[in-house]
Amino acid sequence: MNSLACIIKQARDYCGTLSPAKLVFGGYLFYVLSGWLLLCLPFMQKGPGVKALDNLFVATSAMSTTGLSTVSVWDCYNFLGQLVVLGLIQLGGIGYMTLGSFVILSRKSGLSEIRSRVGAMVFSLPVGFDLAHFIRGVIGFTFAIELLGTMVLYPIFLSVGAPCPLWNAVFHSVSAFCTAGFSLFNNSFESYATHFWLNSAIAVLSYLGAIGFIVCLDFWRMVRGEVEHITLTSKIILYVTFWMTLCGTLLIFLGEPLIAGMPADERLLAAFFQAMSAMTTVGFNTVGIGTLSKASLLVIIVLMVIGASPSGTGGGLKSTTLSAILGVIRSAIRGEHDVRFWGKVVPLERIWTAVASLGMYLGVLVIGTYLLELTETSGFEKNLFEASSALGTVGLSMGITSTLTNMGKLIVIFLMFCGRLGPLTLGVALYFPKGLMSEVSDSDVAL
pLDDT tens per residue, the chain (447 residues)? 555 455 445 545 544 555 566 767 777 888 899 999 999 999 999 877 899 999 999 999 999 999 999 999 999 999 999 999 999 999 888 764 454 444 434 444 454 555 555 455 455 555 555 556 667 777 788 889 999 999 999 999 999 999 999 999 999 999 999 999 899 999 999 999 999 999 999 999 999 988 877 787 778 778 777 777 777 778 888 888 999 999 999 999 999 999 999 999 999 999 999 999 999 999 999 999 999 999 999 999 999 999 888 777 788 888 888 888 888 888 888 888 787 776 677 777 778 878 888 888 899 999 999 999 999 999 999 999 999 999 999 999 999 999 999 999 999 999 999 888 875 555 544 454 444 444 444 433 334
* Through-space distance between the first and last CA atoms of the chain, rounded to whole angstroms: 48
What residues pair up with 345 in beta bridges, in sequence order? 340
The range of the structural domain enclosing residue 380 comes to 18-431
On whether residue 248 sits in a domain, the answer given is yes
Residue 305 forms part of a structural domain? yes
| 9 falls within a domain | no
Q: Which residue(s) pair with 341 in the sheet?
A: 344
Q: Which secondary structure element, helix H or strand E, spans residue 340, and what is its range?
A: strand 340-341
Q: Is residue 106 part of a domain?
A: yes
Q: Going by C-beta distance under 8 Å and a sequence separation of 6 or more, which residues neighbour residue 101?
A: 111, 115, 119, 132, 135
Q: Work out how many domains the chain is built from and give that number.
A: 1
Residue 5 lies in a domain: no
Residues 6+ apart with CB under 8 A from 151: 169
The span from the CA of 362 to the CA of 51, in Å, is 32
Q: Which residues, 6 or more positions from 221, have their beta carbon under 8 angstroms from its beta carbon? A: 227
Contact yes or no for 197/293 (Cβ under 8 A): no
Residue 24 placed within a domain: yes
CA distance 338 to 349: 12
- Within a domain: residue 8? no
C-alpha distance from residue 179 to each of 56, 79, 175, 314, 384 (Å): 20, 21, 6, 6, 21
Residue 103 lies in a domain: yes
pTM (2 decimals)?
A: 0.85
Q: How far apart are CA 83 and CA 88, in angstroms?
A: 9
Contact status, residue 169 vs residue 150, Cβ threshold 8 Å:
yes
